[in-house]
Amino acid sequence: MKRIMDILISFLLLVLLLPLIVMIAVLVKFKIGSPIIFKQQRPGLNGRPFYIYKFRSMNDWMDDNGTLLPDNERLTEFGALLRKYSLDELPQLINVLRGELSLVGPRPLLMEYLPLYTKEQAKRHLVKPGITGWAQVNGRNSITWDKKFELDIWYVNNQSILLDLKILWLTIVKVIKTEGIDQTDNVTMPHFKGEVKQIDRKHG
């Protein structure tokens, strides 16, 4: 049932939003440059790697040593607008159709984090990752790593179609209100460096 819902909704959204997707692609090309699509390897179900797709939101500016500047210095004004309304995530509908992502599930993080997880935190990979999830509608980037993992594991233990529909609805509300996008002093979440704190499963 979940896979059928993923296919139907993502296909419908791609068809309905195709003019918007094309327009964004053209604007990214002229305002930020090529490549239009940013792709990065992320861990999927059971930690299997796949490439996630997003519209590019940052430039490639480097310092005198050839090192990329910090995210907050490379994020463009147009890129910030895309992130504000989660429009940079639209190409991930292709990931959903390919079966690499679900519409709802724990957000796929960086491959380099895999060896840093505790046994409990690693349970987030027991389900397919998603475009949106329980952590995203309960704070997104404005919450701590501990809280994010707590919310992810709660979803793994309590997932259902009704919960997925609730999360999709709350995601629409969050996007309209543009809540929880940036953490204080960070354009994106700070890098995860490993946590040993036990996750409380009693969240609902």
Question: What pLDDT is stored for residue 179 in this prediction?
Answer: 64
Q: Is the dihedral of CA 87, 151, 104, 47 positive or negative?
A: positive
Q: What is the pLDDT along the chain (204 residues), one digit of tens a residue?
A: 899 999 999 999 999 999 999 999 999 999 998 899 999 999 999 999 999 999 999 888 777 677 777 777 888 899 999 988 889 999 999 999 999 999 999 999 999 999 999 999 999 999 999 999 999 998 776 788 889 999 999 999 999 999 999 999 999 988 887 765 443 334 566 778 776 444 444 444
Q: Would 161 be classed as within a structural domain?
A: yes
Q: Would 190 be classed as within a structural domain?
A: no
Q: Would 141 be classed as within a structural domain?
A: yes
Residue 24 carries which side chain, given as an amino acid letter?
Answer: I
Residue numbers of the domain that contains 40: 2-177
Whole-number Å distance between alpha carbons of 19 and 198: 46
Q: Helix (H) and strand (E) counts for the chain? A: 7, 4
Q: Would 10 be classed as within a structural domain?
A: yes
Q: What is the pTM of this model?
A: 0.83
Neighbours of 5 (CB within 10 A): 16
Two structure tokens written together for 74: 């490379």
Phi-psi region at 99: left, alpha or beta (left = phi > 0; alpha = psi -120 to 50): left
Q: Would 201 be classed as within a structural domain?
A: no
Q: How many domains does the chain have?
A: 1
Q: Would 18 be classed as within a structural domain?
A: yes
Rg of the chain (C-alpha set): 17
Question: What pLDDT is stored for residue 182 in this prediction?
Answer: 46
Whole-number Å distance between alpha carbons of 175 and 120: 30
Q: Would 197 be classed as within a structural domain?
A: no
Q: Would 136 be classed as within a structural domain?
A: yes
The residue ranges of DSSP E strands in the chain, in sequence order, are: 37-43, 49-55, 102-104, 130-132
